[in-house]
Structure 1
Amino acid sequence: MTTATLRGPLTRSELLALPAAVDVETAARAFGIGRTTAYALARTDQFPCKVLRAGKAYRVITEDLLRVLHIAPENSDGAGPSRPTPSDENALTNQH
Protein backbone atom coordinates (compact mmCIF):
# COMPACT_ATOMS: atom_id res chain seq x y z
CA MET A 1 0.00 0.00 0.00
CA THR A 2 1.31 3.48 -0.83
CA THR A 3 1.57 6.54 1.40
CA ALA A 4 -1.21 8.25 -0.58
CA THR A 5 -3.45 5.25 -0.01
CA LEU A 6 -2.67 5.07 3.70
CA ARG A 7 -3.29 8.74 4.41
CA GLY A 8 -5.73 9.45 1.60
CA PRO A 9 -5.87 12.49 -0.66
CA LEU A 10 -5.45 15.96 0.80
CA THR A 11 -8.57 17.92 1.66
CA ARG A 12 -9.22 21.38 0.27
CA SER A 13 -8.35 23.01 3.61
CA GLU A 14 -5.10 20.99 3.81
CA LEU A 15 -4.21 22.11 0.28
CA LEU A 16 -4.80 25.76 1.10
CA ALA A 17 -2.57 25.46 4.19
CA LEU A 18 0.45 24.10 2.26
CA PRO A 19 3.72 26.06 2.18
CA ALA A 20 4.94 27.76 -1.01
CA ALA A 21 6.54 24.55 -2.33
CA VAL A 22 5.99 20.90 -1.45
CA ASP A 23 7.67 17.59 -2.16
CA VAL A 24 6.37 15.29 -4.89
CA GLU A 25 4.83 12.91 -2.35
CA THR A 26 2.64 15.67 -0.91
CA ALA A 27 1.60 16.81 -4.40
CA ALA A 28 0.85 13.19 -5.29
CA ARG A 29 -1.53 12.98 -2.31
CA ALA A 30 -3.36 16.02 -3.69
CA PHE A 31 -3.95 14.11 -6.92
CA GLY A 32 -4.64 10.81 -5.15
CA ILE A 33 -1.71 9.01 -6.78
CA GLY A 34 0.95 6.88 -5.14
CA ARG A 35 4.57 7.74 -4.43
CA THR A 36 6.10 5.42 -7.04
CA THR A 37 3.80 6.64 -9.78
CA ALA A 38 4.41 10.26 -8.79
CA TYR A 39 8.18 9.96 -9.06
CA ALA A 40 7.90 8.09 -12.36
CA LEU A 41 5.71 10.88 -13.74
CA ALA A 42 8.07 13.56 -12.40
CA ARG A 43 11.13 11.88 -13.97
CA THR A 44 9.42 11.74 -17.38
CA ASP A 45 7.95 15.29 -17.20
CA GLN A 46 4.41 13.90 -17.13
CA PHE A 47 3.40 14.95 -13.60
CA PRO A 48 0.04 16.82 -13.71
CA CYS A 49 1.73 20.11 -12.77
CA LYS A 50 5.20 21.62 -13.10
CA VAL A 51 7.92 19.89 -11.07
CA LEU A 52 11.21 21.60 -10.20
CA ARG A 53 14.33 19.57 -9.61
CA ALA A 54 16.77 20.76 -6.94
CA GLY A 55 19.68 18.33 -6.97
CA LYS A 56 18.14 14.96 -6.25
CA ALA A 57 14.98 16.47 -4.77
CA TYR A 58 11.79 17.26 -6.65
CA ARG A 59 9.59 20.18 -5.58
CA VAL A 60 6.17 21.35 -6.72
CA ILE A 61 5.12 24.99 -6.43
CA THR A 62 1.89 24.99 -4.42
CA GLU A 63 0.37 27.83 -6.47
CA ASP A 64 0.70 25.71 -9.64
CA LEU A 65 -0.68 22.66 -7.84
CA LEU A 66 -3.74 24.62 -6.73
CA ARG A 67 -4.18 26.09 -10.22
CA VAL A 68 -4.20 22.65 -11.84
CA LEU A 69 -6.70 21.43 -9.25
CA HIS A 70 -8.85 24.57 -9.80
CA ILE A 71 -8.71 25.47 -6.12
CA ALA A 72 -8.61 29.07 -4.98
CA PRO A 73 -9.21 30.56 -1.52
CA GLU A 74 -12.20 32.61 -2.72
CA ASN A 75 -14.25 29.64 -3.92
CA SER A 76 -15.57 26.71 -1.99
CA ASP A 77 -15.60 23.86 -4.49
CA GLY A 78 -12.98 24.58 -7.14
CA ALA A 79 -15.65 24.94 -9.82
CA GLY A 80 -15.05 28.60 -10.55
CA PRO A 81 -15.51 32.04 -9.05
CA SER A 82 -17.96 32.31 -6.16
CA ARG A 83 -19.39 35.57 -7.54
CA PRO A 84 -20.57 36.17 -11.10
CA THR A 85 -17.96 37.88 -13.22
CA PRO A 86 -18.90 41.06 -15.14
CA SER A 87 -19.19 39.03 -18.35
CA ASP A 88 -21.59 36.60 -16.59
CA GLU A 89 -23.71 39.49 -15.38
CA ASN A 90 -23.82 41.01 -18.89
CA ALA A 91 -24.88 37.67 -20.36
CA LEU A 92 -27.72 37.42 -17.85
CA THR A 93 -29.02 40.94 -18.56
CA ASN A 94 -28.78 40.47 -22.34
CA GLN A 95 -30.98 37.37 -22.37
CA HIS A 96 -34.21 39.37 -22.52
Structure 2
Amino acid sequence: MVGMTRAELLELPVAIDLVTAARALGIGRTRAFELIRRGEFPVPAVRVGATWRVPTAPLLQLLGLSADR
Protein backbone atom coordinates (compact mmCIF):
# COMPACT_ATOMS: atom_id res chain seq x y z
CA MET A 1 0.00 0.00 0.00
CA VAL A 2 1.36 3.39 -0.98
CA GLY A 3 0.71 6.45 1.18
CA MET A 4 -0.58 9.75 -0.14
CA THR A 5 1.28 12.83 -1.28
CA ARG A 6 0.83 16.17 0.45
CA ALA A 7 -1.15 17.43 -2.57
CA GLU A 8 -3.48 14.38 -2.44
CA LEU A 9 -4.01 14.86 1.28
CA LEU A 10 -4.91 18.52 0.89
CA GLU A 11 -7.45 17.69 -1.84
CA LEU A 12 -9.42 15.26 0.35
CA PRO A 13 -13.10 16.07 0.98
CA VAL A 14 -14.40 16.98 4.45
CA ALA A 15 -14.90 13.32 5.42
CA ILE A 16 -13.38 10.16 3.95
CA ASP A 17 -13.85 6.43 4.26
CA LEU A 18 -11.71 4.39 6.65
CA VAL A 19 -9.64 2.79 3.89
CA THR A 20 -8.65 6.20 2.50
CA ALA A 21 -7.77 7.41 6.01
CA ALA A 22 -5.64 4.31 6.51
CA ARG A 23 -3.86 4.98 3.23
CA ALA A 24 -3.15 8.56 4.34
CA LEU A 25 -1.65 7.18 7.55
CA GLY A 26 0.36 4.57 5.69
CA ILE A 27 -1.40 1.60 7.27
CA GLY A 28 -3.29 -1.23 5.64
CA ARG A 29 -7.02 -1.84 5.51
CA THR A 30 -6.91 -4.81 7.88
CA ARG A 31 -4.90 -2.89 10.48
CA ALA A 32 -7.27 0.08 10.22
CA PHE A 33 -10.31 -2.08 10.91
CA GLU A 34 -8.46 -3.79 13.75
CA LEU A 35 -7.69 -0.40 15.34
CA ILE A 36 -11.31 0.77 14.89
CA ARG A 37 -12.59 -2.42 16.51
CA ARG A 38 -10.31 -1.85 19.51
CA GLY A 39 -11.17 1.85 19.75
CA GLU A 40 -7.56 2.77 18.97
CA PHE A 41 -7.76 4.46 15.56
CA PRO A 42 -5.61 7.59 15.94
CA VAL A 43 -8.32 10.06 14.80
CA PRO A 44 -12.08 10.18 15.39
CA ALA A 45 -14.22 7.95 13.20
CA VAL A 46 -18.01 7.72 12.97
CA ARG A 47 -19.99 4.70 11.92
CA VAL A 48 -22.60 5.58 9.29
CA GLY A 49 -24.68 2.52 8.50
CA ALA A 50 -22.25 -0.20 7.48
CA THR A 51 -19.34 2.16 6.78
CA TRP A 52 -16.90 4.25 8.79
CA ARG A 53 -16.32 7.93 7.99
CA VAL A 54 -13.30 9.88 9.15
CA PRO A 55 -13.32 13.70 9.32
CA THR A 56 -10.37 14.99 7.30
CA ALA A 57 -9.39 17.94 9.55
CA PRO A 58 -8.20 15.83 12.52
CA LEU A 59 -6.36 13.52 10.11
CA LEU A 60 -4.53 16.44 8.53
CA GLN A 61 -3.76 17.84 11.97
CA LEU A 62 -2.27 14.51 13.06
CA LEU A 63 -0.11 14.53 9.94
CA GLY A 64 1.02 18.11 10.61
CA LEU A 65 -0.84 19.62 7.68
CA SER A 66 -3.26 22.51 7.62
CA ALA A 67 -6.76 22.00 6.24
CA ASP A 68 -6.77 25.58 4.94
CA ARG A 69 -3.97 24.65 2.53
Gaps of 5+ in 2: none
**What is residue 30 of structure 1 aligned with on the other side?**
24
Q: Is structure 2 residue 53 aligned with structure 1 residue 59? A: yes
Which consecutive segments of 4 or more residues in structure 1 shift more than 2 A?
A: none
TM-score, reference length from structure 1: 0.67
Which has the higher relative contact order, 1 or 2, with Cα contacts under 8 A spaced 6 or more apart? 2
Specify which of 13, 18, 39 is matched with residue 12 of structure 2.
Answer: 18
What is the TM-score when the length of structure 2 is the normalising length? Answer: 0.91
From the CA coordinates, give the structure whose radius of gyration is larger: 1
3-state DSSP class of the match of 1:46? Answer: coil
Aligned length, in residue pairs = 67
Residue aligned with 2:4, SS: coil
Letter in 2 for 1:60: V
The answer as to 2:61 corresponding to 1:70 is: no
**What letter is aligned with 1:65?**
L
Q: CA RMSD in A?
A: 0.8
